[in-house]
A = this chain, B = another copy of it.
Amino acid sequence: MRNLDEATITQAVLARHSSTADARLCEVMTSLVQHLHAFARDIKLTQAEWRSGIDFLERMGKACSPDRQEFVLLSHTLGLSTLVLAQNNKKPLGCTEAAAFDELETQNSRVYDLGADISGGRQGAKGYMRGTVRDAQGNPLPHAAIQVSQAGGNFSDPVASDTDRALLQADQSGRYFFSTVVPQSHRVLHDGPVGDMLAALNRHAWRPAHLEFVITASGYKRLTTHVFREGDPYLDSDAVFGVRSSLITDWVQQPPGETPDGTVSSDPFYTLEFDFFLARD
């Protein structure tokens, strides 16, 4: 294999992988090399552009830390995450759609009692959310674990606020309820290379308002999903392409007066009822 050029290099690389013991790895790398090379050929990538790409990847690497997953954000903003999620998570009939990778770890959550205020010091309009965790037939599932992640407030990005989660347990009738601030649209982390890429592409970094939930019940498939807010201006231009119609809900404004937790509010407040439907494991 000498004198390889743009016409022969791809087969030469693939031939080098032919003794790979792991058949799936060989399949993945074959497709990756073919697409990587086809990309460079299709656009006739120049050396200067190749160098820009290398520099971008090195900047990506430097931007990563235990609190910041820049490559995850790149995958999200290029639509790869939505693609992988969609092709691996067909919505089971009667169940709530997934809207994010099932990756959050629960060990960093803060445990709250049902009915607690989980806003964690965020500023904004008060909201009361409640609902029931059910199976696909609508039967309540007792004692499901409900993890809620909130963006906005002090947090510009849910990717970066993984340690800021509330953990609740539904009651024996499957009911859950808590209060927090009504979620607001917010931007993904955009002070790094991904932010520079979005700016160069004339793209904004906004996500529509949502709460993120991870629902776990014994014998059922864990559900990781978002509950979006009707009326948000970014529902049709989510920077990470994650909005599902079935997950858009209406926070209903209520006049001042008694709130769901029995206190009296002198300001208007919001309420939301949303049931989660889990698939059998």
Residues of A within 8 A of B (CB): 1-6, 9-10, 12-13, 16-17, 19-22, 25-29, 31-33, 35-47, 49-51, 54, 57-58, 60-64, 69, 71-72, 75, 78-88, 101-103, 200-203, 235-238, 241, 243-245, 248
* In contact, A87 and B41 (Cβ under 8 angstroms): yes
Partner among B3, B44, B88 whose Cβ is within 8 Å of the Cβ of A244? B3
- Nearest to A30 among chain B residues (CB) is B43
Q: How far is the CA of A36 from the CA of B31 in the complex (A)?
A: 10
Q: Which residues of B contact A39 (CB under 8 A)?
A: 31-32, 35
* In contact, A237 and B45 (Cβ under 8 angstroms): no
Q: Which residues of B contact A27 (CB under 8 A)?
A: 43
The 7 A-B residue pairs whose C-beta atoms are closest, nearest first, are: A61-B61, A13-B79, A5-B86, A35-B35, A35-B39, A6-B87, A57-B71
* In contact, B75 and A69 (Cβ under 8 angstroms): no
CB distance from A89 to the nearest CB of B (A): 8
* In contact, A47 and B12 (Cβ under 8 angstroms): no
CB distance from A242 to the nearest CB of B (A): 8
Using A16-B201, A32-B39, A60-B61 as known contacts, list a sample of 17 further A-B pairs with CB atoms less than 8 Å apart, ordered by residue number in A: A1-B238, A3-B243, A5-B86, A9-B83, A13-B79, A17-B203, A21-B202, A28-B43, A29-B201, A40-B83, A44-B87, A47-B102, A50-B81, A51-B101, A57-B61, A58-B64, A58-B71
